[in-house]
Amino acid sequence: MNVSFFIARRLASRGHQRFSRFIIRLAIGATALSVAVMIVALSFVNGFQEAVGRKVFSFWGHVRVQQDMEQRGSIAEEYPILRNDTVEKYLASLPEAAFVERFATRSAILKYKTGIESVLLKGIDHGFHPERMSQFLMEGRWLRVADSGYSREINISQYTANRLDIRTGDSMLVFFFRQDGSKSARRLTVAGIYKTGIDEYDKNFALADMAMIRRLNNWDPNQIGGYEVFLKDYKLTDTISRKIYRELPQSWYSKSIREIYPNIFDWLNLQGQIKNILLSIMIIIAAVNLITCLIILVLERTRMTGVMKALGASNWDIQQVFLFNTGFIALAGILIGTAIGLGICLLQQQTGFIRLNEEAYFIREAQVLINGWQVLFLMGGTLLICMATLIIPTLLIRKVNTVKAIQFR
């Protein structure tokens, strides 16, 4: 057995003077608090980014494929384009794609009694997967696309429903204004009301049958607005978007949802940066407390240091004694902090006791995503950084005079 490790373990088990015991407990507490805060921050930010990202991707997909879309804004009606079987088959054949949906958007005016609201009507067809949006449905159901003709149903957001004071089962007038100045209207029934929690979606969009958009705007039966590609792994969004772009015919473009709605993802990235800053601060706090604790232990054991030097121990052997001793303290703090941090995360998962303003944060309650590998890396990284930092104060041992140290009281 390593002699330095043996001595350090004996010191840890024999106890210390009253003041140093207080400092040790303080160091363990500070380390535990730092680790707990880091685990909670890491899990909460991971959960937040995953939950908000899932909302964004569920409504619009991961990659949008259209013609002549380079200068198009994120919220704009689409120019009708002919379906391209070659493009459609290529998108569906991508191994990274879960499924592909066709869509079209067109500006419309909703009128119910005396209320009027402007929306961008998103048209869907038989390829629509309602299960991806099940989390958003507040009441009613998703509209049923007609096999022939077009469905006379519509899904609106809770925001729009409140503005028009309309509920599921009520009928409203939907007006379209064509480029030639003429207008067309149809009466549609509200099949269901949804809420994404994202203002950009809830305040601007409604869902209807794409066939109705074609009919009322004099589009060709084979025209659409574009394609949405839903991926199996959202982390591949930008990579797959670039891959698709390279294979598309001339005048066709692909854009990831990150490019279309940069503000949302810039905000999510900012949360990640804040998380990294917080982790750094917590590690510094833990290291400073352990350094303070180590200096006090070195001063308290000055006489022991002198005796060990007199017996022939090298400076490094004595340094290892204090490093191991402080390592026990750091490890105790890390284990306690991990237990506390994981406990808070699990409690949030089960009870959702931390509530958020959905209008500001897009979700009703704080989401938690615990990544086991990240937690282990955090524990190991904190221990290694603290131990590496603690080597510096142990250099005080090299300046200890053997004779004076033995006489120290």
Q: If you write DSSP's letter for every residue of 228-274 in order, what string do you get?
A: EEEES-GGGHHHHHHHHHHHSPTTEEEEEHHHHSHHHHHHHHHHHHH
Residue with tokens 């949405």: 228
Alpha-helical regions (H) of 94-186: 158-164
For range 159-180, the mean pLDDT: 90
Q: Judge whether 300 and 16 are in contact, CB under 8 Å.
A: yes
Distance CA(66)–CA(83), nearest Å, equals 10
Task: Please spell the DSSP secondary structure of 262-320, one letter per residue.
Answer: HHHHHHHHHHHHHHHHHHHHHHHHHHHHHHHHHHHHHHHTHHHHHHHHHTT--HHHHHH
Neighbouring C-beta atoms of residue 236, cutoff 10 Å: 16
- If you search the block for the tokens 């809770």, which residue do you land on? 158
The pLDDT of residue 318: 74
pLDDT in tens, 264-301: 788 778 888 888 888 888 888 888 888 887 777 777 77
- Token pair listed for 104: 């079209």
Task: Report how far residue 400's alpha carbon sits from residue 309's, in angstroms, rounded to the nearest whole number.
Answer: 9
Does residue 225 come out as left (phi exceeding 0), alpha (psi in the -120 to 50 range) or beta?
alpha
- Note the pLDDT tens digit of each residue in 46-89: 888 888 888 888 888 899 998 865 555 555 567 788 888 899 99
pLDDT value of residue 239:
92
Burial of 303 (0-12, 13-18, 19+ CB in 10 A): middle
User: Please, what's the b/e burial string for 143-163 (b: 16 or more CB within 10 A of its CB; e: otherwise)?
Assistant: bebeeeebbbbbbbbbbbbeb
Range 377-403 average pLDDT:
78
Q: Average pLDDT, whole number, for the chain?
A: 84
pLDDT of residue 387: 83
**Taking residues 13-22, what's their average pLDDT?**
60
Q: What is the pTM of this model?
A: 0.76
End-to-end CA distance of the chain: 31
Q: By the 8 A CB rule, do 309 and 318 touch?
A: yes
Q: Can you tell me whether residue 21 is helix, strand or coil?
A: helix
Beta-bridge mates of residue 186? 174
Specify the DSSP class assigned to residue 142. P
Q: Indicate if the pLDDT at residue 343 is higher than 80.
A: yes
Q: Which tokens sit at 213?
A: 């958009």
